[in-house]
Structure 1
């Protein structure tokens, strides 16, 4: 990721990134839409998830052109298997979508996105595993839920 952020990544790296994003974007979009639906009584929270889902829709629209510019054709795309680690954050969001308290999920996703930013700057504290581990830690000043502890599922 750092090489991409620095503009030093080769075409093969960018193609791999594009191939992985096909799965990530679709999964995140579904989860964010579900969270927006569950937040009907909290309009600000619903708007946040709705805006994030719209961002994923925009990314999905533009991904095809990016992938094509990286040399990805339909045959390559159909034969691509995503690496397991590439699914950690989408799996985390999907895990929160049906049972997480929506306002708390906003905080957790904010922490996750901050971790991704650190990863892009080359900060090793921003690895996917660390990002998800930090995001499942209870945020200071919020109520503690059993789902917010790493290793436990939604109640």
Structure 2
């Protein structure tokens, strides 16, 4: 099995059901209170800050150059999107003071906490596979949110920049990930915990959304 086949398999097997995330459906339909969007932005401010450090830690841990490059690209993305969250919160009616003083819910903090655990305990290539499976669902959620925020809440491009970023395909990141997985396979590596990591990431992802509700 090559890298593309392996990535396709884990994405297919771990992809959440169409109705698993009802919060995104509410936002897409314009039925979610603006307070949910405020909380989403404020929680993501904590998550992105954490994930930025997590991906840098994974980059430093990875010994294979292509894997190191993949995690470095992820960290760069977190750096880019962090300033995009306050405009989203403000557009939803949150004050700048409340945004910066916001304290996260435990149910929302579980996802970044587990990613940080992966940086300490995870095998880097297994982590790459798990992240790719989760990113597929996350990108779809962001695309649906972007549509709903524009159509039903009147948000402009600045307010939607965060969700637009993740809704946009990233071919360079995909190519780097596939190259990293293939490089590992070429050395005889086989996935050991990727499905476990991915399953837990998806569970914590859905816990994040249910906590928002």
TM-score w.r.t. the length of structure 1 is 0.69
Matched, 1:93 2:115: yes
Kindly provide the CA deviation profile for residues 122-142 of structure 1, in whole angstroms up to 9, marking residues without a partner as x: xxxxxxxxxxxxxxxxxxx93
Paired residue total: 130
User: Which one of the candidate residues 119, 128, 135 is aligned to 1:106?
Assistant: 128
> Which residues of structure 2 form unaligned runs of 5+?
1-23, 145-188, 201-213
> Which residues of structure 1 form unaligned runs of 5+?
122-140
1:113 positional shift:
2.1
Q: Which has the higher contact order (CA 8 A, sep 6+)?
A: 2
Matched, 1:69 2:91: yes
User: Which one of the candidate residues 80, 83, 91 is aligned to 2:102?
Assistant: 80
- Asked if 1 retains the 8 angstrom alpha-carbon contact of 2:49 and 2:82, the reply is yes
* RMSD over equivalenced CA pairs, Å: 2.9
Distance 1:44 1:93 in 2: 20
Distance 1:63 1:118 in 2: 18
- Asked if 1 retains the 8 angstrom alpha-carbon contact of 2:42 and 2:85, the reply is no
TM-score w.r.t. the length of structure 2 is 0.52
SS at match of 1:97: helix
Indicate how the Cα distance of structure 1 residues 65 and 95 shifts in structure 2: closer, same or farther if over 3 A, else same.
Answer: same
Aligned pairs (5 A) from 1:3-152: 3-4=26-27, 6=28, 8=30, 9-39=32-62, 41-116=63-138, 142-145=190-193, 148=196
More helix, by proportion: 2
